[in-house]
Each structure stands twice: as C-alpha cells, then as structure tokens.
Amino acid sequence: MNSFTNKDVAALLEEIGILLRLDGANDFKAIAFDRAARTLESLDSPIASLVESNEVTQIKGIGKSIAEDIHALFETGEIPALVNLRNKVPGELVRWLDISGMGPKKVYKIHKELGITTLDELKSRCEDGSVAALSGMGAKSAEKILKSISWMEQFAERCRLDEARSIADRMINLLRDQQGVQEISVAGSFRRSLETIGDIDILIGAEADDAPALFDRFTADESVIEVLGKGDTKSSVRTREGLQVDLRIVREKQFPAALLYFTGSKEHNVALRQRARDRGLALNEYGLFKLDADGNTDFDQPVEYGSEADIYSRLDMNWVPPELREDRGEVAWFSEHPHADLVELADIKGVLHAHSTWSDGRYSIEEMAQACLKRGYEYLGLTDHSRTAAYAGGLDAQRVQQQWKEIDALNNKFAAEGTRFRIFKGIESDILADGSLDYEEGLLKGFDFIIASVHFSLDMPADKMQDRLTRAVENPYTTLLGHPTGRLLLKRDGSKVDLNPVIERAAAAGTAIEINANPWRLDLDWRYGNKARQVGLKTAVCPDAHSTEGIDDMEYGVRIARKARFEAGRVLNTLAIEELEAHFQSRR
C-alpha cells in the first residue's frame, strides 16, 4: 500500500474540486471534494489506518464515491478521477486563478466561450475587446484582468516568503546530514525576510575534497528540473516550482564572512566595507583583512574571527539581525546599541484576526479555538466579515448577536473546564467609501475589538484613500487598521496611498495597524517601520486565518514585524489575556 499523509490526500481532493469547477461541473460536486479535504485536514487519526481497516466511509462528510477515490490512491498511487481531470483541463487555466478577481466560474466561461487556454491568449482577447463583450463581463472587468496579468508578469521570477520557505527547508534537509557538511545556512533575501524572493541562496562550509559529492547530491535531487550551472564552488538549479536555487561551498573558516556577504543586502555590504576601510581593513566574501600601505587588501594579513558577530565587533559594531540589513540606519544604531529588542515568535500570546464558518472561514469557532490552544495561545480574537462583505458571508446585525451567544457559551465552557483561554468578540468591519465603519454605533459598542479593513475601491485616488483611512483610524471604535494597502503580493498591487500621515494619525489616536501575516499580504509593509517607530505606533501580528493551518502564518508576520523593527512592547498580541482585555476596554 502506498503512503500518504492526511495533508497529502486533502491537497489532492482540493485539486479535484478546483479542476471540476474549471471543467464546468456542477458546483455541488466540487463542494463535496472541498468538504472532504477540510475534514481530512482536521482528522485526528491517520487516514491510512482508516483505509487499512476499510472505515473511510465512517468519516462524517466522506461518502462512498470519495472513499473509493481515497482507496484507489493508496492502492495505485493515483486517483483516476484526478488523472482524467488533469488530462482534460488545460493546465494553464489553473494559472488564471492567480489573476485578481478570476474565480473558477469566470475562468470556465471565458475559456469555453472564446476557446482560449493560455495566459497570452487571455491577454490578447482582453485587449481586442472580446472579453469585455461577454455577458456579465464588460470593459472594467477586462481592464482589471489586464492590470493583474501585467502585475503577474512583472514578478514572474519571484515567489512568496512561504513558498521560498518550503523550498529552502527541503534543500537544507537534503544537504545538512551529508558527509563533509560542517556548517550550513540559507542566505540572501530569504534570510533577510523580504516579502518576495527572487532566488534562494544556500551556503555550506566544507572541505574542498567534499564539495563535488555535495554538488552531485544537490543537482540530482528529484525536485530539480534543470541544472543551470555546476562548478567547483557554486552550482545552480531550477526546481519544479520554477525557482532558482544557488549552492555555494566555502572553507569552514570563510563561512562567517561568506554568510555575511551573501546575506546582503548590497547596500548593507557597501556600508560595512566602507566602515572596514575607515579602520584600515578590507571586508569581502573571503574574510576580513588588513590593508597594505597603498590601501590594497593584504591577503597575507587576515584578521581572525569565528562568527558574524566577531566580524561586526572588529568594525566596532554589535551583531545586526539579518532582517535589518537593508542600510536603513542599522549601521549607526548597532554602533551604539547592543541590540534592538525585536519581537520573537515566542512572544506572541494569541491570535487577533481569524475567520470561522460564520463568514468565509473553513472551520467552526470552537475548532479555531482548539487549534489556537493546541499551539499554546491564550486567546482567539474572532473577526468574521461584516455585512458589506456579502460575497464573503458577512454578518448582519442579527447574525452578530447569534454569534456572540455561541462565543459566550464557548467561553463559559472553557471556564468550567478550568482552561485558561478566551475568545474575544471581534469583527473585520469593512471601511466604507466615506471612511465610516459597517454598523451602527449601538452594535459597534458590543464588540471587544474591531479590525477596520478596506476590501473594495482600492483604486480610489490616493488623496481620497488617505482621507478614508484617516477617518477609520480616528474612529473611536477602531482597534486595528487591517492590511492597510490591500495588496496581494505578486498578484495585485495595493492602493497608492502614502501611509506615513495615516501612521501618524493612528498613533495619535491610539489605534494600531496590523501586520497581516498572510504570505499573500505581509501588510503593513516593513518599509514603514522607521516611521512607525518614530511615532510609537503599535501593531498586532495577525494571521488573518481562514483555516486552522492559517494560524501558522504567524511566523511570516513576526519576520516582517522584526524587519520593521517592532519590539514586543509595541505588539498587542504579546499581551496576556487580562492585559489585552484592559487595553480593549481602555479604547471604549
């Protein structure tokens, strides 16, 4: 019998649901696979054991047909229905789903009525008016599709931070236990936690005699689809995800200097090299050396070091966390300060932006709460969508009241069990075009906290958007401004508003601005970090979780919070339950 995890099977069932929609199938059929996938993701026991005991149909939500698909997968390694769909549905149609505003039904409609399958064909038909002429489309829809395709093409060679993490982890795990590896690390923009990554740099410290075998192992991995180059000190490959990965091997004594150099950024390295020259030294990827009488690098006079911290110390600095190496004042700061007290993932005590099945989440409130407990968190701030977001199941006033009763019952249950956990009553309120929130004052008063977010009219003129956001952050009921630009990385640009004045007004009003940890967003942009620090802005690192797995996106938000120089004291969800409750009450 083949071996598959619950997550593996869920991913395949989810793919069937997507392809069924792209094939124009009845939506109820696709929904059955979606639900089965969600069920498997939350299943406590391994699906393999239930296949072996022939008990798959006993799982609630999985009927005879899907159970047969799962049994076929374990018996043959394939699901026949999925194989047929992959052969039937043009593969590039799946790429169309990355276009902002393009759901499966719209993709199927355009594909079927215009007889096109490629992104280039779609672009051409948008430009010649064919898409706009379709019923239910129009010129505005075609224009939005073109804008999104342009955005995708501009960043075709980059990937999100979570995608890069998956590839980097795979390569590190592949190589770390190989003979000869003395030190190993990811370098480059991934180590600096940039929100999008162009390629992945891996550095190994090893003896020259061990390098050929390490390069052979690297280039022969099953995930490699193309070897771009292979030499004595560097090899480059392209993985099945389309991303380039570079492996460099240096001598162990060179490793700290090489790690510093290949981590970058270029601007940070230039600043360090100048600082070295001011001290009669030369810094490069090979090490730290004294300068000779003519100001040239004297490779016969190396300066001893054993770590990156030693190199910084030789330059009269303290070690700079990789996230901050962007030449944005960090060189001067760490020349005078020992550290920056950056927030750590371990500092986070709870989740403050999550959705349930009450709106567009995949799991119930209790399931989301239990998932938070499982991860060691003390609280869940539930923030389903408000009424204007009808497309996402937004809650009207009556449903809000009903949800509050369920939350009260769950909190009473936790208290009766002696479980230290609290569900806070929140909402992700749409910011309306005039900057107001989505409910009347009487209802707004009943929430523990409110995240105010823009979900429509992102292309509003910058001055009007700035006024819209300013009104929202100065609303006394707004606790947090959510994903302030509305961007979707590599897919959709955000609003063009200058957030600096908004940050000032938010800080003055005591309103926090979230760092949305969803890898598609990572918004507030870290580049506003210096301004945020200057005015004392507070944030919350929020996973914007629509599933239990989404809670784990917290990691990426913390990386961006660190890059933006937020210390734990300015992150709301580092507060304990009682402290956070007091903060919420102080805002009322």
The arithmetic mean of pLDDT across residues 399-411, rounded, is 98
For residue 304, what pLDDT is reported? 95
For residue 152, pLDDT over 80 is answered with no
Short-list 464, 467, 454, CA closest to 516: 454
The structure tokens listed for 300 are 């016969």
For residue 42, what pLDDT is reported? 66
CA distances from 69 to 5, 9, 48 (A): 15, 10, 13
**In whole angstroms, what is the distance from residue 71 CA to residue 21 CA?**
23
CATH 3.30.210.10 domain span(s) along the chain? 252-338
CATH of 157-250, one of 3.20.20.140, 3.30.460.10, 3.20.20.70, 3.40.640.10: 3.30.460.10
For residue 155, what pLDDT is reported? 62
For residue 384, pLDDT over 80 is answered with yes
Which residues are bridge partners to 488 per DSSP? Answer: 492
Domain 6-154 in CATH: superfamily? DNA polymerase beta, N-terminal domain-like (1.10.150.110)
For residue 496, what pLDDT is reported? 83
For residue 1, what pLDDT is reported? 66
Inter-axis angle of helices 64-76 and 27-41, to 10 degrees? Answer: 60
Q: What CATH architecture applies to the domain 345-586?
A: Alpha-Beta Barrel (3.20)
For residue 3, pLDDT over 80 is answered with no
What pTM did the predictor assign? 0.81
**In whole angstroms, what is the distance from residue 112 CA to residue 93 CA?**
11
pLDDT band at 95 (very low <50, low <70, confident <90, very high): confident
For residue 61, what pLDDT is reported? 78
Give residue-wise pLDDT tens across range 19-77: 999 999 887 888 889 888 878 876 767 888 888 899 888 888 788 999 999 999 999 99
CA atoms within 13 A on the CB side of 407: 24
CATH 3.30.460.10 domain span(s) along the chain? 157-250
The structure tokens listed for 287 are 């090490």
The structure tokens listed for 62 are 């999985």
Give residue-wise pLDDT tens across range 105-148: 889 999 999 999 988 899 999 999 999 999 989 998 898 888 88
The arithmetic mean of pLDDT across residues 233-262, rounded, is 94
**In whole angstroms, what is the distance from residue 307 CA to residue 284 CA?**
14
| Residues 368 and 382: beta-carbon distance below 8 Å | yes
| Residues 289 and 350: beta-carbon distance below 8 Å | no
The arithmetic mean of pLDDT across residues 284-297, rounded, is 93
CATH 3.20.20.140 domain span(s) along the chain? 345-586
CATH of 252-338, one of 3.30.210.10, 3.30.70.20, 3.60.15.10, 3.40.50.970: 3.30.210.10
Short-list 436, 442, 429, CA closest to 472: 436
For residue 2, pLDDT over 80 is answered with no
